[in-house]
Amino acid sequence: MIKTGELKYIEEKIERREDLDEDDIVYMYDEADVNDLGKLARSITDKISGKRVSFVSNIILNYTNICNVRCKFCAFYRKSGEYDAYTMTPDGVIDEIRKYYPYGIRQILIQGGVNPNLDLDYYLTVFRKIRENFTEAGINGLSAAEINFISKKAHLTYEETILKLKEAGLETIPGAGAEILDEDVRVKLGRPRGSGRQWLEIMETAHRLGVKTTATMVYGHIESSMDKARHLISIRNLQKKYHGFLSFTPWNMEPDNTELQKEGILKYRAGAEDVIRNIAISRIVFNYDLPIIQSSWLTNGVEMGQLAILYGANDWGGTIYDEKVIPATGKRVGNLRKEIIIRSIKDLGMVPVERDNLYREIAVYE
């Protein structure tokens, strides 16, 4: 496909199922033509899933906005006592899900903040109530940061905490909190020192226990191309060990109303070319080891979600009903029902495939 040059060499490595190294990935970020990357990425995706693009009917439930980590890139968190700080009761969580369950919800993504007022019993109660009331929906719950805090407060190991959450109804763990795994970058972003290693350790523990997770990367802030390369390689290495990641999503950061913006460190969000470049590179780096790349439409809109598919993504993500984290930046998201997703995928000449929380096929919309 690629006739000459460094990208041809990368394509040949991909065909031989060889892992790309840091230099290969940095070259793709800094020098390679984005359209050539898209062609290579889409060719890999076509071999993995053809023209099928999956999506899930889900609800994102932000059960609290109280958080004591206070990341500089987050506009959502509040301190205890602030006028708009909130925490849902377990019954309140059930009432919120019940509003949207008739839409065929198969995944409940539940995460909020590291709330010092909550303990393990709160989460066990919430998960049990969800499992009892909504039997067809899988719980995709809690960030690594939340699990780390819950474990420490309960004086339990990560393994013990995850097993208790699993017994209560947790099915999968989302990849939130990965951001960029480099220690120096994380500290500058306001994350605790060692939190990158904690993320990898919690994910590995979950995989070892048979709990599937997803993986993410947040780009478009203070990271370098090498930081992103090492982030992708760390995730790929863990994936090769257990194959516990269900999908990977590269998210571009939304700077509005964040400390990074207030401090003048970051003024603008990543542009369209950065979005599709990160999608394409993710597909190329993970190759067949991590088959599902998600389009990250939530931060980029429906049209960019479609473009991401053309550049290598093969999962749209999910429906949205009153998600609160992105709107905290001032960006309008709104609700997105599955009929719009189906039409958006079909408009590309692709085949929409509805899935559940574990990426199992539910329905095909030819």
1 in a domain, yes or no? no
What is the model's pLDDT at position 332? Answer: 46
pLDDT tens for each residue of 12-43: 999 999 999 999 999 999 999 999 999 999 99
Query: What's the domain count of the chain?
Result: 1
CA–chain centroid gap for 243, Å, is: 16
- Residue 74, marked binder: yes
**Residue-level pLDDT at 5:** 78
- CA 46 vs. chain centroid, Å, equals 22
Q: Which residues contact 12 (CB under 8 A, 6 or more apart)?
A: none
Which residues span the domain enclosing 62?
6-364
Q: Is residue 179 marked as binding?
A: yes
* 71 annotated as a binding-site residue: yes
Question: Does the annotation flag 296 for ligand binding?
Answer: yes
In a domain, 344, yes or no: yes
Instruction: Report the pLDDT value the prediction gives residue 3, as an integer from 0 to 100.
Output: 52
pLDDT at 38: 97
Tell me, what's the pLDDT at 192?
83
Residue 354 falls inside a structural domain: yes
Q: Kindly report the number of other CB atoms within 10 A of residue 270's CB atom.
A: 20
* Cβ contact 127:137 at 8 Å: no
- Residues 358/171, Cβ–Cβ less than 8 Å: yes
183 is in an annotated binding site: no
Q: DSSP string of 157-171?
A: -HHHHHHHHHHHTEE
Write the CATH number for 138: 3.20.20.70
How far apart CA 55 and CA 32 sit, in angstroms, is: 30
Do the Cβ atoms of 240 and 203 come closer than 8 Å?
Answer: no
pTM: 0.89
Q: Is residue 290 part of a domain?
A: yes
Give residue 81's pLDDT: 65
pLDDT means per 10 residues in the chain (366 residues)? 75 95 97 96 97 94 76 56 78 92 92 83 96 96 92 97 98 93 89 91 98 95 95 98 97 68 59 94 97 86 92 92 46 68 96 97 95
Which residues have CB under 8 Å from 264's CB, separation 6+? none
